[in-house]
Chain A
């Protein structure tokens, strides 16, 4: 049993964190009104963020989810506005479709598209099987969309996008309308079902990793505030009521993290329990992040309720991503169905 990451995986996450410290400060996040900064995305792509899970023949690094988890947590810690969850999930799905030869008809365009995505020159996004809206569709060159049991690549210009402004403004959401002849079929039948499952699991896993980072940062900010803020002549962080809120949020995040890691391992190794492991991870990460967000707002008091405070940059991310890709209840339902309806209680490891 080795529950640790490789030196390379740690180094990659550290490089991402370092880049974000310079290029994704709260001021930068605030300034990214559109939700997408091409320069920052290109810089992230330059160190491999957009290509980790793209197969090598298509210009990627041929890595897997475990190579990404720590780095995505760093993205959450920085409240990175760019849609790292959706773009990575889309690129991985397209890469897998091309690798398995499941695409219908020759589409050299897709090879070019994937290579450009890996370079950070084009953005891909994907519809989450659990959600009615597509994130970041306005910034994407192409969208991976499911219709009637088949998956298509749809050129952004061939789709009609209706904006659905949400509480997390930088994470733009859209209703997408498109004609089937405007899309290129990449999977149908069994291959399409497998793609739906893979897309859902990967989106849930990566949004879980992002939420861990956001929750961690919310706790750090709140601890820092509680040390500085004086009331009744002492730091509010010396009061047990405040300490216990923060300790509970910390415990929730610490116990969610190994679940997210195990889910990454399950997906990577094709484990029989992968669906259930991913759902347990997303349920726990969503709940832990919601708890951290609620505690952070309470500890900050009125200042946290303002736009002036940076806190909202993380709060809104948590509110959005804890629900995207299936909320805690949806995922617990999937766990319950496995445990209770199918009586499958064998665990990994």
Chain B
């Protein structure tokens, strides 16, 4: 056991830290769920990409720097520590890109990865449907074979970034006689294609962080099918595997939040009730635990292990941790914690409310935590499926 960073990892950290210190905007950008904020976040992605920091784990030929998983974890720690902007490109770079790299043709990789990495094309996800939420295999949106491609009909919902984004990745039923996980195909669809209608859905904060997307006989050419026809579920699960596993929510963001929470308790002094002090310590410990668990996973992966169903444990842990961190902060702040960032008294505290509302979604998206518990119980512990 050697829990230390190599000299080159330490050097890498220093380089990231220096660049972020010089480039992170001093004032937070407006939310990327507004037209103005969306554009400003795209500009930030371009700045990141110019310096080679936007997609460091990708191969260099597509705009990455072939960074190791450990370097990526270090990068994330520094990114959130510096208070850098949220990643408007996250659906694409963290969910679609791993599938593209694994299943895409060379042409597809060359076509889609570079503009995704530069934030020029922002991707929305098209998994859920009104009748396919936790029961995702109940997908009804369909695609019919036509000359040179497919015609898509149906509806997707809860599509993050679709309100202002450019492309959507999603799964559609290509075999009308198929059931459940079979007969589905993974498509890449431009949101400005004829027949696509996007309607933003205001979230708890009032902004359209997700949308419903209607497909009315939308033509998609064959070269925008990812992976084999009929194997869409398999391709898609490889991405939700990454989402739950490591790549969407690295420890960095929770470590930064936990340190801010500890500082908040310190600053409040005797104004922090002993029970809140105890809860804050617990949450800080849990953020630290998530980091250690991730490093342990990284060691296992380097030794050749695959992450499988245990990544469900990850998803439960970080989503409940995030909710706890923000709930404790709001409890510490009392009524002041309920002020929005526009309130004169909110000061930097408005961030806690924003973070709280964002954190509440964590146990729901990416497969609800109840679904994750079923996966752990059945695939890790070996309990029988429900009758």
Task: List the interface of chain A (C-beta within 8 A of B).
Answer: 1-5, 66, 219, 223, 226-227, 234-235, 237-240, 242-244, 246-248, 250-251, 254-256, 258-259, 261-262, 264-265, 280, 283-284, 329, 332-333, 335-336, 339-341, 343, 345, 347-349
Contacts and interface: CB of A to CB of B under 8 A. Distances in A.
A247 B277 CA distance: 28
Interface stretch (B37-45, B50-58, B294-302): B294-302
Nearest to A223: B381
A280 B373 contact: no
B22 interface: no
A208 to B, nearest CB: 13
Contacts of B2: 1-2
A83 B253 CA distance: 41
B3 A259 contact: no
Contact of A332 (B281, B292, B380): B281
A335 B295 contact: no
Interface of B: 1-6, 9, 70, 255, 259, 262-263, 265-266, 272, 277-278, 280-282, 284-286, 288-293, 295-296, 298-300, 303, 310, 313, 316-317, 370, 372-374, 376-378, 380-387
A332 B278 contact: yes
A22 B370 CA distance: 39
B317 A258 contact: no
A248 B317 CA distance: 9
Contacts of B272: 340
Contacts of B255: 347
Nearest to B303: A4
29 contacts: A1-B6, A1-B298, A1-B299, A2-B2, A3-B296, A3-B300, A4-B1, A66-B1, A234-B384, A237-B377, A238-B387, A240-B374, A240-B386, A243-B378, A244-B377, A251-B376, A255-B317, A258-B289, A258-B295, A258-B296, A261-B296, A262-B3, A284-B289, A332-B285, A333-B281, A340-B266, A345-B263, A345-B284, A349-B3
> A1, A223, A239, A348: which has the most chain B beta carbons within 10 Å?
A1
Q: Interface majority SS on A: helix, strand, loop or mixed? A: helix
Contacts of A239: 386
B386 A247 contact: no
Contacts of B278: 329, 332-333, 336
> B1, B3, B263, B316: which has the most chain A beta carbons within 10 Å?
B1
B279 to A, nearest CB: 9
> A3, A5, A262, A265: which has the most chain B beta carbons within 10 Å?
A3
A255 B382 CA distance: 20
A254 B310 contact: yes
Given A226-B383, A246-B381, A246-B383, A2 B317 contact: no
B134 to A, nearest CB: 12
Given A280-B285, A339-B281, A347-B288, A265 B293 contact: no
Contact of B5 (A3, A248, A349): A349
A256 B295 contact: no
B70 A1 contact: yes
Given A243-B373, A347-B291, 11 more contacts: A1-B6, A4-B300, A223-B383, A237-B383, A244-B374, A333-B278, A333-B281, A336-B265, A336-B278, A339-B265, A349-B4
Contacts of A250: 313, 376, 380-381
A13 to B, nearest CB: 14
A343 B266 contact: yes
B386 A339 contact: no
Given A3-B296, A240-B370, A223 B382 contact: yes
B282 A332 contact: yes
Q: Interface majority SS on B: helix, strand, loop or mixed? A: helix
A259 B272 CA distance: 27
B258 to A, nearest CB: 8
B30 to A, nearest CB: 30
A70 to B, nearest CB: 11
Contacts of B285: 259, 280, 283-284, 332, 335
A284 B5 CA distance: 25
Contact of B383 (A238, A254, A265, A335): A238
B387 A234 contact: yes
B383 A259 contact: no
A223 B376 CA distance: 12
Nearest to A251: B313
A258 B386 CA distance: 32
A215 B71 CA distance: 34
A235 B303 CA distance: 37
B378 A280 contact: no
A266 to B, nearest CB: 8
> B293, B299, B382: which has the most chain A beta carbons within 10 Å?
B293
> B262, B370, B377, B385: which has the most chain A beta carbons within 10 Å?
B377
A280 B287 CA distance: 11
Contacts of A284: 285, 289
Nearest to B262: A339
Nearest to A4: B299
A256 to B, nearest CB: 7
Contact of A238 (B280, B299, B384): B384
Contacts of B293: 254-255, 258
Contacts of B295: 1, 3, 258, 349
B70 to A, nearest CB: 6
Nearest to B385: A238
B281 A243 contact: no
A283 B285 CA distance: 9
Contacts of A248: 316, 373
Contacts of A258: 289, 292-293, 295-296
A218 to B, nearest CB: 13
Contacts of A243: 373-374, 377-378, 381, 383
Given A3-B1, A339-B262, A339-B284, A256 B376 contact: no
A5 B387 CA distance: 41
6 nearest CB pairs, A to B: A243-B377, A336-B281, A258-B292, A247-B373, A3-B299, A237-B383
Contacts of A340: 262, 265-266, 272, 277, 280-281
Contacts of A336: 265, 277-278, 280-281
B381 A335 contact: no
A3 B288 CA distance: 15
